[in-house]
Structure 1
């Protein structure tokens, strides 16, 4: 029997958008696991379906850990304008949803000191989104 991580990793490369959405939601819980990082980044930057991007970003923002938000920041730095819009929508959904999330802006502030320049740049953008969601 496959573990939750194994099943989500398998789903991340599925041709089915709905399987990739499930994988993004499932893998978000493993954002701290290095094995999940690249598949999650791939789901955040999914070129076939914006639902995958949006749902994975929302799930990671809800997790709210440094590792989860670092992945979102990396994706923002690599995303084209269209992908960035859906990443922003996913983060926004997490921030204004019924359960809200921890202070994303605080974690992004910590990521502003990340050694990776792309992460710093992406975190600055996510921080602006988080500030806008509070209004």
Structure 2
């Protein structure tokens, strides 16, 4: 029987966009595992279907760790305009959704000093998206 990680890795190379999208969601929690991170990087810039890009970006933004946001930032730096739009949509879906997500803007602030220029540039873009999302859809503070 395959573990969740093994099953998601297998789905990451599926010809089916829906299975690849499910793999992106499933692998996000394994972002610190090198094989998962490699597969996630490919799914963020999926050549066949931007729905995979969107769902993978959303899942990683919901994880919200430095490793997760760093993968999105690298993808943003490499993305063409079409993929960048869907990366932004995925990140903003996570930020304005009903569930609380980690402070992606704060993580981007930490990545502003990353040694890789591409990560710094991508993190700057994501931080702007985060600022836009909070400006137009402020979260309730529960007060």
Length-normalised TM-score, structure 1:
0.98
Pairs aligned (count): 135
The aligned residue for residue 73 of structure 1 is 73
Structure with higher Rg: it is 2
- For structure 1, list consecutive stretches of 5 or more residues without a partner in the other structure: none
Name the counterpart of 2:121.
121
Q: How is 1:1-135 mapped onto 2 (pairs within 5 angstroms)? A: 1-135=1-135
Question: How far apart are the structure 2 equivalents of 1:124 and 1:31?
Answer: 21
What is the distance in 2 between the residues matched to 1:118 and 1:60? 18
Once superposed, what is the RMSD of the aligned Cα atoms? 0.6
Q: Unaligned regions of 5+ residues in structure 2, if any?
A: 136-143
Give the Cα–Cα distance (whole angstroms) in 2 for the partners of residues 32 and 130 of structure 1.
Answer: 23
The offset of 1:101, in angstroms, is 1.0
Deviations for 1:53-92, whole angstroms, at most 9, x for unmatched residues? 0000000000000100000000000000000000000000
Cα deviations by residue, 1:111-134 (Å, 9 ceiling, x for unpaired): 111111111110000000000000
Whole-angstrom distance in 1 between the partners of 2:100 and 2:127 = 15
In structure 1, the partner of 2:139 is none
Normalising by structure 2, we get a TM-score of: 0.93
4+ long deviations beyond 3 Å = none
Structure 1 equivalent of residue 138 of structure 2: none
